[in-house]
Structure 1
Amino acid sequence: MQSPAVLKKHAEFVDRMATAQGIDLEEQMMRGRVTTPDLADAVLRCTGCSNPEHCRSWLASQKRVAQGTPDYCRNTEMLDDLRKAMDHG
């Protein structure tokens, strides 16, 4: 089991990665496109990241909506699905 500090750090990464993709996770939850268990799973996937320090740097360097996630991101599929759902209303 991950420590609360690790989970908090990766929850922030998930939120920031979504924001970098132009996705507001809170809005997507209100629209029913993502659930609390979905977000919990995303955070757990993120804790298994092979390169969290590069992720931190990548996120810090994003000044506009990114055109995708880093190759190693374990939440690419979820974020791509949310972006497609947003594009189709």
Structure 2
Amino acid sequence: MPNLKLINIADNHLIRLTEATWQPIWSTLLDVYLQGNPFICDCHVRWLVQKESEMAQVIKVNRYLYGRCFTPSYLKDKRLEDLKLSDVECK
């Protein structure tokens, strides 16, 4: 799906975005609608945070990532696009 630019999977009860599934197409997406999903923002989203950081240095157009953390409690309602690597440390 090299031409995929927008994906809307809002309100689908998703709790994770697995790297194996999303990493191959992540860099082609410009608009990613994930709101309304109860995401667990733990070590499993570290790949996403890393990829977003790398892409911010490369992409020269506006990219929108809509979605918020549901758990853990210290990250509840934090926007996925605002996560830092320090927020999702792997132990």
Q: TM-score range by the shorter chain?
A: under 0.3
Point out which structure has higher relative CO (alpha carbons under 8 A, 6+ apart).
Answer: 1
Q: Compare the two structures and name the one with the higher helix fraction.
A: 1
Higher strand share: 2
